[in-house]
Chain A
Amino acid sequence: MITYETFTLHNGLQFIINIDKNTPFVAINTLYDVGSKDESPDKTGFAHLFEHLMFGGSKHIPSFDTPLQKVGGENNAFTNTDITNYYITLPKDNIETGFWLESDRMLELAFSQKNLDTQKSVVIEEFKQRYLNRPYGDTWLLLRPLAYTTHPYMWPTIGKDISHIEQAVIKDVTDFFYRHYAPNNAIISISGNVSVREIKKLAKKWYENIPQRDIIPRNLPKEPEQLSKRTLSVERNVPVDTIYKVFHMCNRLHPDFYTSDIISDILSNGKSARLYTNLVQNQRLFSEINAYITGEIDEGLFVISGNIMPGIRMEQAEQAIYSELEKLTNGFVFDYELQKVTNKIESTIIFSETNVLNKAMNLAKFAHLGDVSYIQKEIENYTKVSSKDIQRVASQLFKESNDSTLYYYSTQKK
C-alpha cells in the first residue's frame, strides 16, 4: 500500500510526498483545481488553451522546457473537465530545477501576445487533428450536449467550437490566471528518493512567498434529472456504424461510485468480460464494444460504445446491449465474477505503484478529492461491493429515462 506524508504552507499550498528509493528519478506533479467546467459557455476550451500558455514563459524565466531538458527533465500536462495537471520527471539531484520552474509560473505568467497567437493556432490544429480529421473524432462534441442540458460537462475540454479559441484575447488570459492559478488552489505531490525535510526546505524557499489569491468558490448549476430517453442520429463518411450510450451516474465521492465502476468492469474489463464474450465472440454483433465511466468529480457518465458489424442493424445492436444491461438489473451476477473484477483491480493498482509518476499523479488526484487517505481505501472500497449493490445501482443507471444514445451511421456502407 502506498505511503506518504503531507504538509501545507501558510499560503495554503498543499504538499504530498511519497518516498521511493528504487529510482534515480523523481516525479513532481502540480494539480490546479480548474477544468473546463469552470469556463463560461461562450469561452469554452479556455482551460486547455491556458495549459498550453503555461509553457510559453513565466515572470522570470523565458522558456519552461529548455532549462528543464537541460537538466535531463521531461514534462507534460493535461486538462480535463475537472482539473489541470502538470507533471515533471527529472534526475533526483536536479529536483530544485523543477521547483524553480513550477513556482515561477505559479507566481506569474509572462502573458505574451505572440505566445497567445501561436498557441491559439497550435490548439486549433489539435482540434482538427483529434476531433475533425479522424473518423468518429466528433463523438464527444455530440454526446456531451446530448447528455447534459445544464451542467458545464456539456462541452468537451477542447471546447465547443474552434471559434471560441480564435476569439481568446490577452485579457482573458490574465483574468483566468489570477482567478484560478494560486497556491491555495493547487496541490503538489512528489514521488522519488527524497526526504520530507529536503522537500520542506525547497517548498518554503520557492513557494512560500507566492501570495494567496481570491478564489471564488465554485457554484456550478446542477444537472437536472433526465426524464426521458434522448437520441441523436448522425451520418458521417466513416467505414462502419457505431453506437454510443451514456447514462448519468453518481459523483466521485458518492458511495455508489465504486459499484458503478465494478459494473463497467463486469461488462468490459478484459477478454472474459460479458460484452466481449457475448456480443463480440458469441453473437458477432460488434467488432469492438466497451463500457467505462468518465470518473468525473461531479455527476459523470457511464458510457457504452460499440462498433457494429456489417449487416447488423442499429436496432438489433442496441437491443443486444439492453439485454446485457437487463441481466444486471435483474441481479444476475456471480460471486465468482465479482471476485474476478476485484482481483483485476487489485493487480492493476499494484502494477501502477511501480512508477513514480503514476504515484505522484494519483496522490494529487486523491488529495484533490478532499482527503489523500482515500487512496489507501481504494481496494477496500471495491471489495465491499456486493451483488445486491450491483443490482440496485444498475437499476438506477440503466433506466430508459436516464439513457442518451448517439446513433452514428456510416455513409460508406457497401
Chain B
Amino acid sequence: MKDIQRHLPPIYSVLKPIRFKQPKKYVCPNSIPIFTIDAGDEDIAKIDFIFEAGDWYQPQALVASSVVALLQEGSNRFTAEEIAEKLDFLGSYIYTSSSKHTASISVYCLNKHFEETIRIIEDIIKNPLFPEEKIKTYIQKKYQQYTIEAQKVEVISQKKFTSILFGNNHPYGISAEPDDFLQIQRATCKTFHKEFYNSDNCKIIVAGKVRSMHIDILKQLFGIKPWNVLEIISEIPTYISTPNTDKKHYFPKEQAVQSAIRVGKMLINKYNPDYPALQVLNTILGGYFGSRLMSNVREDKGYTYGIGSGIVSHRTAGYFVIASQVGKDVCQKALDEVYFEIKRLRTETIPNEELETVRNYMLATIARNFDGAFALSDSFKTILEYNLTGDYYKRFWNVVRTIQASELKNLANTYLDEGSMYEIIAG
C-alpha cells in the first residue's frame, strides 16, 4: 500500500442544495388541513395534532400546559388507566407539549396499530373529562418536579432572564412558580379546552410510511363534521412587553459551586429578513462545538463544561441569549471573555477559513433537519407555526451559502452591541 498523507485532509465536497420536500396537503370537509410526509422504509408513523392553544391564550399561568397534559387522564369512552393500558399494549407513544402559541399531541405508532391508536386519540382530544382526582395527582406531581427544577441555577437564571426581558405579565416572560400549580381548577381546564380544542383550531401532520389509509382514517375521525366549535369566538389577547430598566441582575444561591450566566437581549424573529444571516453570526459566536465561545471559554480557559448562544424566535418577538454554567470563582473572568467575543464580531472581520467551516457546518445542519420523515415533519411544523412555506428554507440555505464577512460585521454592529446586553447571574 502506498504511503498515505496523514497531514493532509482528504478532498471534500460541499453539500449540494437540498430541497425541502413540501408535504402534500389535504383539506377535510370541515376544513382541517392534513399534511402528509411520506418517507422511509419502516412501517411506522408520527402524527401531530396541533392546536392554537398555547400559553398566549391561557387565563392564568400553567393552564395551557396542564390542559394538554391532562387530555390523557380520562375521556368519555376510556378511563385514564384504559388509555395508558391500551396505548402501551399497542406499543404506541403519546407526547403532549405546549409552547407559547400552540399545543401539540404527538403520537408515534406502528402502522398496523394506526387505526386503533387514533381512535383512542380521537376521544381524548374531543371528549376529555379532566377528572378531579387526576388533576389533583397531576398537580402534586408537577408541583414536586417544579420545586426540584427551581433549585437548579440554570433554571433560575433562564426564568429570570426572560421575565426581565419581557416582563412577568407577558407570555414570553412569564415564569411560573410551583405555587401556580395549586391554582389550577377543573373548571378552568374545561373552559380552556372548550374554547381552543376544536376543528376550526386544529392542524394535522402525518409522517412516516404514509398511505391513503392514514388520510382516510384521520378524515373519518376528525375531518367530516365540525366538532366542539363555539358560536362565539373569543378575542385574542394582546400583550406588550415591559423590559426591566436595569441591565444587570444577580440572584445569589447559597452553597452553589457554579454560577449560571445569561447574557442577551431582545432580537428579531423568523419573519425578519436578517434572521438567517444573524443565525450565521450566532453560530460563529456560540452555535456549535467549534464556536468562538466554546474555543475560548471552554477549550482554552477551562472555565466551563459548556457555553453556547442562540436566537430564540417566537411568533411576535425573539431574543438572543448566551448561556453557560461556570465555576463561581471564575464567573467574572468568563463574563469578560463573553463580552470580548461579542465585541470581536463587531470590530474584526471573520476570517474566510472560519466562515467556510461555519457555512458547511450549517448547510449540513439544515440537511439533517430534512433527513427522514420525522425530521421533515419537525421542520415543517416549525414553518407552519409562522405560516411560512418551503421558500423560507430555500432562502435560509442561500444566505448561508453566500453571506460575506463584511455583511456579518455590519449585522453585529446593528444588533449585538455589548452595551445593549442584559446580564443575569444565578448562583
Residues of chain A touching chain B, judged by Cβ–Cβ distance below 8 Å, are 22-25, 59-61, 65-67, 69-74, 89-91, 93-94, 96-97, 99-100, 104, 107, 117-126, 128-130, 132-136, 204-206, 208-209, 237-240, 269-273, 277, 280-281, 284, 287-288, 307, 309-310, 336, 339-340, 343-344, 346-348, 350-351, 353-355
A240 to B88, CA, bound (A): 30
**Are the C-beta atoms of A129 and B258 separated by less than 8 Å?**
yes
Give the complex CA separation of A120 and B9 in angstroms: 29
Known: A22-B372, A100-B10, A122-B305. 4 other contacts (CB 8 A): A67-B9, A122-B304, A350-B42, A351-B44
Chain B min CB distance to A307 (Å):
6
Question: Are B302 and A117 neighbours in the complex by a CB distance under 8 Å?
Answer: yes
List A contacts of B145 (CB < 8 A): 287-288
**A240 contacts B89, C-beta separation under 8 Å:** no
26 contacts between A and B (CB under 8 A): A23-B371, A60-B6, A61-B7, A65-B290, A70-B361, A72-B360, A91-B13, A91-B364, A117-B302, A119-B302, A122-B305, A125-B258, A125-B305, A128-B327, A208-B1, A238-B151, A271-B88, A272-B87, A272-B88, A287-B145, A340-B88, A340-B89, A343-B90, A344-B91, A347-B110, A354-B373
CB of B182 within 8 Å of the partner chain: no
Tell me whether A65 and B147 are in contact in the complex, defined as CB-CB below 8 angstroms, given that A90-B364, A273-B88, A343-B89 are known contacts: no
Please report the C-alpha to C-alpha distance between residue A273 and residue B85 in the assembled complex, in whole angstroms: 8
Which residue of chain A lies nearest to B360 when distances are taken between CB atoms in the complex? A72
Per-residue contact bits, chain B 1-32, to A (CB 8 Å; 1 contact, 0 not)? 10010110111110100100000000000000
Is B410 in the interface zone, CB < 8 Å from A?
no
Give the residues in chain B near A119, CB-CB below 8 Å: 302
In angstroms, Cα B305 to Cα A130, docked, is: 10
Q: Is the CB of B41 within 8 A of A22?
A: yes
Smallest CB gap from A339: residue in B: B89
- Separation in Å of the A236 CB from the closest CB of chain B? 10
User: What is the CA–CA distance of A107 and B7 in the complex, to the nearest angstrom?
Assistant: 13
Name the residue among A96, A206, A238, A354 with the largest chain B CB count within 10 angstroms: A354
Query: Is B137 interfacial (CB-CB < 8 Å)?
Result: yes
Knowing A118-B299, A288-B144, A355-B372 touch, does A205 contact B4 (C-beta < 8 A)? yes
B153 pairs with A22, CB closer than 8 A:
no
- Residue contact A353 to B12, C-beta cutoff 8 Å: no
List residues of chain A with CB within 8 A of the CB of B211: none
What 1/0 flags go to B85-109 for Cβ under 8 Å of A?
1011111110000000000000011
Residues in B with CB closer than 8 Å to A339 are 89
User: Does B371 contact A24, Cβ atoms closer than 8 Å?
Assistant: yes
Given the known A-B contacts A100-B10, A118-B301, A135-B152, are A239 and B147 also in contact in the complex, defined by CB atoms under 8 Å? yes
A309 touching B140 in the complex, CB below 8 Å, given contacts A205-B1, A344-B91: yes
Given A287-B145, A346-B91; A74-B372 close (CB under 8 Å):
no
Would A94 and B371 be within 8 Å (CB), given that A71-B360, A238-B148, A238-B151 are in contact? no
Ranked nearest first, the 7 interchain pairs of A and B with the lowest CB-CB distance are A121-B302, A347-B91, A72-B364, A271-B84, A272-B84, A287-B144, A60-B6
Given contacts A122-B304, A205-B4, A343-B91, contact A239 B10 (CB under 8 A): no
Residue pair A239, B6 in contact (C-beta under 8 Å): no
Interchain CB contact (< 8 A) of A347 among B18, B92, B289, B299: B92
Q: In the complex, how many angstroms separate the beta carbon of A284 from the nearest chain B beta carbon?
A: 6
**Total A-B residue pairs with C-beta atoms closer than 8 Å?**
203
B357 CB-CB contact with A under 8 Å:
yes
Q: Does B217 contact A (CB under 8 A)?
A: no
B39 interface hit (Cβ, 8 Å): yes
User: Which chain B residue lies CB-closest to A71?
Assistant: B12
Q: List the B side residues contacting A287 at CB < 8 Å.
A: 140-141, 143-145
**In the complex the two chains form, is A237's CB within 8 Å of B302's CB?**
no
A272 to B91, CA, bound (A): 12
Chain B residues with CB below 8 A from A310, complex form: 144
Q: Does B256 contact A (CB under 8 A)?
A: yes
The answer to whether A69 and B290 touch across the interface, beta carbons within 8 angstroms, is yes
The docked-state distance in angstroms from the alpha carbon of A385 to that of B41 is 29
Closest to A136 in B: B148
CB–CB B137/A284 < 8 A: yes
Q: Does B367 contact A (CB under 8 A)?
A: yes
Q: Which residues of A contact B304 (CB under 8 A)?
A: 122, 125
Q: Which residues of A contact B141 (CB under 8 A)?
A: 280, 287-288
A60-B7, A66-B357, A270-B84 known; A128 vs B299 contact (CB < 8 Å): no
Residue in A69, A94, A208 whose CB lies within 8 Å of B289? A69
Residue of A121, A281, A307, A350 touching B44 (CB-CB under 8 A) = A350
Given contacts A119-B302, A125-B305, contact A350 B110 (CB under 8 A): yes
Contact A122 B298 (CB under 8 A): yes
- The residue that B42 contacts in the complex, of A60, A208, A353, with Cβ under 8 A, is A353
**Which of chain B's residues has its CB closest to A95's CB?**
B10
Residue-by-residue, is B303-342 near A (CB-CB < 8 Å gives 1, otherwise 0)? 1110000000000000000000111000000000000000
Contact residues of B between 86 and 140, Cβ < 8 Å to A: 87-93, 108-110, 134, 137, 140
Whether, in the assembled complex, B363 has its beta carbon less than 8 Å from a beta carbon of chain A, the answer is: yes
B177 an interface residue at 8 Å Cβ cutoff? no
A106 to B: closest C-beta gap in Å: 12
Q: Are A22 and B148 in contact (CB under 8 A)?
A: no
B246 within 8 A of A: no
Q: How far is the CB of B368 from chain A (nearest CB, A)?
A: 7
Are B18 and A128 touching (Cβ within 8 A)?
no
How far is B15's CA from A280's CA once the two chains are assembled, in angstroms?
A: 50
Is the CB–CB distance between B302 and A122 below 8 Å? yes
Report whether B40 and A125 are in contact in the complex, using a CB–CB cutoff of 8 Å.
no
**Shortest distance in angstroms between A120's beta carbon and chain B's nearest beta carbon?**
7
Please indicate the chain A residues that have their CB under 8 angstroms from the CB of B357 in the complex: 66, 69-70
